[in-house]
Structure 1
Amino acid sequence: MLVQCHFSVSTPGRGILNITDEVAALVAQANVTTGLCHVFLHHTSASLILCENADHLVQRDLEAFMSRLVPDGDDLYQHTYEGPDDMPAHVRTVLTSSFLTIPITANQLGLGTWQGIYLWEHRLRSHQRKLTVTVQGE
């Protein structure tokens, strides 16, 4: 069986949003006992990550680390069409990922105890982000 669904997430600006429940609901609707869930983000200035879901400080620390690694407004960047966070957002996406593949077991996402699926917005202002979830299995 192959099921594909789309959904959008409105981000408030730079930060990490938990989208595990949205993806899990689509997997449950697909009624696949064993298979794979592929989540794809249709953007080049945001990303998807599997991350610790028990302590929100983990997400804050990741953002602090990324801000130090890829600062906004660096003179190195020539691509600044949409502002000082434009090229840094693209670099952040390249360093992370725009897709995830997660196993499905017993009609549920096969995540670890402390894992969650997160959309990481790299732009400073809010955006509407489109995702495609493809569920394949039996």
Structure 2
Amino acid sequence: MYHARDLTVSTRGRGFHDITSEVQRAIQDSGVRQGLCTVFLHHTSASLILCENADPDVRRDLEAFFARLVKDGDSLFQHDAEGPDDMPAHVRTVLTQNSLSIPIQNGAADLGTWQGLYVWEHRTSPHRRRVTVSVLG
């Protein structure tokens, strides 16, 4: 059995947007009890992460690390067609991921106790991001 659902995530600019409940709902609605869920983000300046969801300091620390690693407006980058955060957003995406595979057990994503699924917006302005949740079982 195969089931797919598109989600639209409206971001407020750079930061994390929890999509765990929407993905769980897509799995539940599919009727699949055992299988595999693939979550795919259709963009090159945002990413998907599986991250700790209990302490928001973890996500703040990730953002601080990436801000130091890939600086907006760095003179190293030539691609700045959409502003100083353009190429840094692409680099951040390449260093992370735009697809996740999650096992399904008993009709739900088999996540660890402290795991959550997030769209990580790398641009400083708000965007609408398309995410496809595919369920196979």
AA partner of residue 50 (structure 2): L
What is the DSSP-based 3-state SS (H/G/I as helix, E as strand, rest coil) of the residue aligned with 2:73?
coil
* Identity %, equivalent residues: 61
Count of aligned pairs between the two proteins: 137
Residue type at the aligned position of 1:55? D
| Local SS of the residue matching 2:124 | coil
Question: TM-score, normalization: structure 1?
Answer: 0.98
* Residue number in structure 1 paired with 2:80: 80
Alignment partner, residue 122 of structure 2: 122
- Are residue 27 (structure 1) and residue 27 (structure 2) matched? yes
Q: Give the TM-score normalised by structure 2.
A: 0.99
TM-superposed deviation, 1:109: 0.5
Which stretches in structure 2 are left out of the alignment for 5+ residues?
none
Q: CA RMSD in A?
A: 0.4
**Residues 14-63 of structure 1: CA distance to partner in whole angstroms, max 9, x if unpaired?**
00111100100000000111000000000000000000010011000000
Structure 1 stretches of at least 4 aligned residues deviating more than 6 Å after TM superposition: none
Structure 1, unaligned runs of 5 or more: none
1:42-121 alignment runs, 5 A limit: 42-121=42-121
